[in-house]
Amino acid sequence: MSELAYLSLGSNIGDREDHLNRAITDLSSLGTVKNISSFYETDPVEFVEQPVFLNCAVALQTDLSPMELIRQILNIERSLGRQRIQKKGPRSIDIDILLFGDRVINSADLTIPHPAMAQRRFVLLPLTEIAPDACHPVLNKSVRELLEELPPGQKVWKFCKTQ
């Protein structure tokens, strides 16, 4: 049965925009990309001594199970040069499953909804752009409500391509 998954994509090394665009193209092989947010530049959080990120959100209609989807996402990350050298460190691509329908999954390999999404402006702002009324099935709040409840502090701004 087909379900709508919301994903967060980020990149902060190499050609960030190309990494996001290639990841979105690769994700289309896993289902139908229904919507893509604008790209946003964001200051890193937690491990802050690294380059600025480029982030976006993607809505993906897929027939895959959540576990099949995360396995394929990890393959896409590897194919785009992702190396897991330092936790929260610089990366060519990072793809997280934020929401998968109204499912709640807590396993050693996968947690849905993403456990930190409600605290991350760089996740909620792009997601609000494409799915403001999507409901967090644990907190029972819309993505828009979660964004409005965030305290100020995290810098997120629309990406302006310069050529």
91 is catalytic: yes
The three-class DSSP label of residue 12 is: coil
Tell me the backbone φ, ψ of residue 81, rounded to 5 degrees: 90, 15
| Residue of 16, 26, 96, 120 marked catalytic | 96
Q: Which residues contact 116 (CB under 8 A, 6 or more apart)?
A: 123
Nearest Cα neighbor of 143 from 129, 133, 130, 156 is: 133
78 is catalytic: no
| Residue of 91, 102, 120, 133 marked catalytic | 91
| Residue of 16, 94, 120, 121 marked catalytic | 94
Cα torsion at 52, 86, 92, 119 (round to 10°)?
A: -50
16 is catalytic: no
End-to-end CA distance of the chain: 43
| Residue of 16, 82, 120, 121 marked catalytic | 82
Helix orientation angle between 16-27 and 66-79, rounded to the nearest 10 degrees = 140
82 is catalytic: yes
Q: How many CB atoms lie within 10 A of CB 83?
A: 12
Catalytically active residues, by annotation:
82, 91, 94, 96
